[in-house]
Structure 1
Amino acid sequence: MPNSTPAVANPDHPTKDGGPGDRLAPGSALVIGLLMGSTFLVLLNEMLLGVALPTLIADLGITPSSGQWLTTGYLLTLAVLIPATGYVMRRFHLRTIFLTAMSLFIVGTAIAAFAPGFGVLLVGRVVQAAGTAVFVPLLMTTAMRLIPEARRGAIMAIVTAVPAIAPAVGPAVSGLVLSFLEWRWLFILVLPLAVFALVLGAFKLKNITTPVHATLDVFSLLLSAIGFGALVFGLSLIGESASGHALMSPILPIAVGLVGLVAFVIRQQAIRRRGRDPLIDMRIFRTKSFVVPLIVMMFVALNGFGILLVLPLVLTGALGMGTLAVGLFLVPGGAMISLVSAVGGRIYDRFGPAPLIIPGSMIWTASIWYLSTLNETSGVWLYLVAYLVMSGAQAMMWAPLTTLALSSLRSDLYPYGSAAFTTAQQLAGAAGGAVLVSAYTIGADAVNAGRLSVAEAVDAGQAAFTAGGIIAFGAIVGAILIGRRKAAPVASDVALQDA
């Protein structure tokens, strides 16, 4: 069988930094802190162009469906590459992974900053995402290893808040920058921060991992690219197809994507039976406490990322808000996520996931449906209240779902679990952007969805939020199926190692 020894430090065994307990070992806080800060920076770029979409549509002469690919393409690249991060984390030192990934992100940011047009800008976004791909699973896996179980809920709430807060803060930063500078500065201003993180990592980050022999199956990576890429591409065509502007029917790419994903799963199982290293170890899906939170998180990510793309379009078109106003509108969302995550972590440690996830899913769904009822006469404050309630309810689910899912796995499966969880998250985010922007395009019922009247913008937004409300019901169903107690690896998991 393949060597499944993890390439990260294990706090369950004494190390020179200390043994197990309820405190972080010396040096662990620095590692987690640096990874958190760097992950926040790279993930800030996920939704950085959401507020900028109306500006880019006008400056670059593109449609909303084309423009959303600057975000959807970013998310899609993550979904394609993240499955390989399990291999990367086992094969290379932590420091090597960090420096390589951050360097790649810097190159992509520079390409985007000086792009002469839409095509090169999209290339820069893809290169950025290639560098970003490893950060979330690397942060999650390392944190799960270094954080004592007794404090896992509280600290992981902070760690997992990073992927939730950064995309929420991105539009706010974007709106502030665009109110004074052109869109290129969204990337120019990120460059010195990324270089600083690279230098800090080079001097401060130490290797805490022991790489093991592992092989990368290129054919599996190709299947994941075909499956995820074709699926999200097909979803992105739905809106243009309905308005009669699509280059092709979405049916074929969606079918190709589904076949590709099935082939990917079969390939992973076959590789493991041959004693080689799969990109994703499918044994993680034998654990209900991992699978159910994963499914719920996909519903959350579908709406979470999709709404952050659509909301700026609605605020601009229906309420006439400028980029600065839209950016300031979105700032409290990040603060709400931080506050709820901090409180939620303590509740998780004491009472488990159910008191957070079940009411959170219901409040979240209700807030999205309420958004679908608002129009140009509702006023900005009602939109803001609905957005804040939605952000807080989303935070009630995000960290508990992640912690519950990973805690249900054996420690040697953490790299695979974090890679699978993050892949599903990003794929759902990419699909959510495609689906809700398609619903927005369909709801506009206009020849040019980039230039809508107030009434058309209201109709478009209501259609998108209605689609989001329907999606949100899936989270409620999944939340009810989640157990009331915190998950822990069971004895039968050990037998799966040789299954």
Structure 2
Amino acid sequence: MNMTSSSVDVHGKTYNRILLVIVVMIGSFTTVLNQTFLATALPTFMRVFDVSTATVQWLPTGFLLVNGIMIPISAWLADNVPTKRLYLITMLIFFCGTLIAFQAHSFAALLVGRLIQAVGVGVVLPLLQIMMLEIFPANQRVQAMGLAGIVVGLAPAVSPTLAGYILDHGSWRILFGMLLPIIAFVLFGALFFMKDVLPGKPSQLNLWSTITSSLGFGSLLYGFSTAGNDSWGDAKVLIALAVGLVFIALFIHRQLTMERPFLDLRVFLNKDFTVGTLLSSFVNLSMVGVEMVLPLYLQDLMGHSPFESGLTMLPGALLIGLMSPVTDRLFDQYGIRNLAITGFAILTLGNLPFIFLSATTPEILVVFLYAVRMFGISLVLMTTITNAMNAIPVSEFSHGTAANNTFRQIASSMVTAVMISILSNVTKAHLPGHALKSSAPLLYANRAFEATLHGYSATFLFATLFSVAGLCLDLTLKPTRR
């Protein structure tokens, strides 16, 4: 890529594009690292704060929910707030949330810190994509998104092992404390090197759109999450799901009838954009689902420490970062259809064996299978997003990015909640009666263990369905080369 250092911002002033990209990528790396280290830390938080699996899952699902609420707003913010000011404010919010989580002395305080973090992250990550697409010319867009892919790939590669080592040798607070100086460095760098690079399109913030999107997605996720403790037929669950669907319908109707929509959903009228968004969502759902459940399996059933479970996932996670520049060239050479079919096929083959894992599965096999599936993910994680964005005009990038990210994040929030619900409910359904616990405690323990295995198998099967769905959807892509 031609990384010419001198560029011009919206005020006609020159700026150093390389330094701006470095600041943005370090900041984004920090936010993604913050998102992904929790998978390894969830069992620790369950022990420290004495909470159930269904309760602790609010740390990732609540985070993703707030992300999903903020991402539609990010399109409006990118159009109405100068880029530099917006970046500084959102990174400062992320810093405050991290500080609260670092000092938390209860699960509620930790959750509050995570939700405040999510407010900043919900704007920072879409802003990264919009800026990379805006400041690089069209013929360098694939490579620009490849740079963003390095951030998305390397942070998850580092976080499980790093978090595991910290949890084995120190306090969980270090997970948040180590981020504070990095965020401070990014804020300092942004003061000098961040510039207003996004052209503004001022409009009024539509309050009704904000209310309906927040209530709709919030209620829907609450219903999915509550089902982890209660049954799917519980009145509270059904009411929450119904309220969520009603407000989401109102939100969609409002956006389609507004002259200047809060989030322009008309981008989904473009078939290539819609297919690209669905594919990026399927790969994200398959990735997030297994990344969340696998550490629980490794630590709870196989008896690994957090550090050991992180090491098990490290080789596969590293592949995403290492494959990013290679994937860019493959995308240019073979086109999205061939790349997507290959990627989803490999991902499906890597996912299937996880359904049959047991407590005696060799660790080296888990490492290999996880690496196989992550290799498949590396081929389609950013290329499907890039292909979707290439289908729409430059003037719609902010709304296209927001729509794509909103769909993926809300889907991830819901699927995370559903997977925890499947894990809990399938395990409960296979648990032996309590009478056996007193009459034959060893037999009860053995059957309880088998019940937990059934829960994990069902959860891995659910994650595999998304890779199969993606593989089927790949066949609708046009067999063209770029």
* Pairing partner for 2:152 from 163, 169, 180: 163
Q: Distance in 2 between matches of 1:341 and 1:67?
A: 32
Segment drifting more, 209-218 vs 473-482: 209-218
Corresponding residue SS for 1:139: helix
Corresponding residue SS for 1:481: coil
Q: Distance in 1 between matches of 2:46 and 2:6?
A: 55
Matched, 1:397 2:392: no
Q: Which has the higher helix share?
A: 2
Q: Distance in 2 between matches of 1:481 and 1:241?
A: 39
- AA matched with 2:480: R
Q: In the alignment, which residue of structure 1 is the partner of 2:271?
A: 288
Mapping for residues 33-44 of structure 1, pairs under 5 Å: 33-44=22-33
Deviation at 1:47, TM superposition (A): 2.4
Mapping for residues 461-472 of structure 1, pairs under 5 Å: 461-472=456-467
Q: In the alignment, which residue of structure 1 is the partner of 2:403?
A: 420
- AA matched with 2:352: W
Segment drifting more, 184-193 vs 329-338: 329-338
Matched, 1:308 2:291: yes
* Pairing partner for 1:338 from 306, 321, 325: 321
Asked if the contact 1:436–1:464 (Cα under 8 Å) also holds between the matched residues in 2, the reply is yes
Deviation at 1:72, TM superposition (A): 0.6
Q: In the alignment, which residue of structure 2 is the partner of 1:492?
A: none
* Pairing partner for 1:79 from 43, 53, 68: 68
CA gap of 1:391–1:16, structure 2 versus 1, over 3 A, is closer
Deviation at 1:237, TM superposition (A): 2.5
Segment drifting more, 181-190 vs 145-154: 145-154
1:143-188 CA distance string (max 9 Å, x none): 1122233232233223134234434533332212111112122111
Deviation at 1:270, TM superposition (A): 2.1
Q: Distance in 1 between matches of 2:139 and 2:332?
A: 7
Mapping for residues 325-404 of structure 1, pairs under 5 Å: 325-404=308-387
Segment drifting more, 66-75 vs 438-447: 438-447
Corresponding residue SS for 1:250: helix
1:10-29 CA distance string (max 9 Å, x none): x9xxx98379xxxxx97323
Matched, 1:207 2:203: no
Q: Distance in 2 between matches of 1:339 and 1:190?
A: 24
Mapping for residues 122-141 of structure 1, pairs under 5 Å: 122-141=111-130
Q: In the alignment, which residue of structure 1 is the partner of 2:39?
A: 50
Matched, 1:473 2:468: yes
* Pairing partner for 2:7 from 13, 17, 31: 17
Asked if the contact 2:31–2:121 (Cα under 8 Å) also holds between the matched residues in 1, the reply is yes
1:184-216 CA distance string (max 9 Å, x none): 221111111111111111122222344342211
Q: Distance in 2 between matches of 1:49 and 1:18?
A: 39
Q: Distance in 1 between matches of 2:153 and 2:207?
A: 31
Q: Distance in 2 between matches of 1:342 and 1:128?
A: 30
Deviation at 1:465, TM superposition (A): 0.3
Asked if the contact 2:160–2:307 (Cα under 8 Å) also holds between the matched residues in 1, the reply is no
Deviation at 1:249, TM superposition (A): 4.2
Q: Distance in 2 between matches of 1:412 and 1:239?
A: 42
1:197-238 CA distance string (max 9 Å, x none): 111111222223443422111211111111111112212233
Matched, 1:255 2:250: no
Q: Distance in 1 between matches of 2:303 and 2:258?
A: 55
Deviation at 1:248, TM superposition (A): 5.2
Deviation at 1:485, TM superposition (A): 2.9
Q: Distance in 1 between matches of 2:456 and 2:475?
A: 29
Corresponding residue SS for 1:134: helix
CA gap of 1:179–1:16, structure 2 versus 1, over 3 A, is closer
1:286-338 CA distance string (max 9 Å, x none): 11110011112222222221211111000012211001101222222331111
CA gap of 1:161–1:427, structure 2 versus 1, over 3 A, is farther
* Pairing partner for 2:255 from 268, 273, 282: 268
Asked if the contact 1:52–1:175 (Cα under 8 Å) also holds between the matched residues in 2, the reply is yes
Q: Distance in 2 between matches of 1:436 and 1:160?
A: 26
Segment drifting more, 137-146 vs 104-113: 137-146
Deviation at 1:355, TM superposition (A): 1.9
Mapping for residues 428-443 of structure 1, pairs under 5 Å: 428-443=411-426
Corresponding residue SS for 1:17: strand
Asked if the contact 1:299–1:474 (Cα under 8 Å) also holds between the matched residues in 2, the reply is yes
Corresponding residue SS for 2:227: helix
Q: In the alignment, which residue of structure 1 is the partner of 2:441?
A: none
Matched, 1:184 2:167: no
CA gap of 1:47–1:248, structure 2 versus 1, over 3 A, is farther
Percent identity for Structure 1 against Structure 2: 28
TM-score under structure 1 normalisation? 0.87
CA gap of 1:345–1:394, structure 2 versus 1, over 3 A, is same
Q: In the alignment, which residue of structure 2 is the partner of 1:229?
A: 218
Corresponding residue SS for 1:133: helix
CA gap of 1:380–1:304, structure 2 versus 1, over 3 A, is same
Corresponding residue SS for 1:464: helix
1:348-377 CA distance string (max 9 Å, x none): 122211121111112112211111112111
RMSD over aligned Cα atoms: 2.4
Matched, 1:120 2:109: yes
Asked if the contact 1:369–1:466 (Cα under 8 Å) also holds between the matched residues in 2, the reply is yes
Corresponding residue SS for 1:484: coil
Q: Distance in 2 between matches of 1:392 and 1:271?
A: 42
TM-score under structure 2 normalisation? 0.90
Q: Distance in 2 between matches of 1:454 and 1:380?
A: 19
Asked if the contact 1:177–1:186 (Cα under 8 Å) also holds between the matched residues in 2, the reply is yes
Asked if the contact 1:316–1:326 (Cα under 8 Å) also holds between the matched residues in 2, the reply is yes
Q: Distance in 1 between matches of 2:101 and 2:385?
A: 32
Corresponding residue SS for 1:311: helix
Gaps of at least 5 residues in structure 2 are 435-444
Asked if the contact 1:404–1:486 (Cα under 8 Å) also holds between the matched residues in 2, the reply is no
- AA matched with 2:16: G
Q: Distance in 2 between matches of 1:416 and 1:32?
A: 21
Asked if the contact 1:314–1:457 (Cα under 8 Å) also holds between the matched residues in 2, the reply is no
Deviation at 1:261, TM superposition (A): 1.4
Q: In the alignment, which residue of structure 1 is the partner of 2:50?
A: 61
Segment drifting more, 197-206 vs 72-81: 197-206
Q: In the alignment, which residue of structure 1 is the partner of 2:453?
A: 458
Q: Distance in 2 between matches of 1:431 and 1:39?
A: 23
Deviation at 1:247, TM superposition (A): 7.7
Asked if the contact 2:133–2:144 (Cα under 8 Å) also holds between the matched residues in 1, the reply is no
1:108-165 CA distance string (max 9 Å, x none): 0011111121111111100000011111211111111222332322332231342344
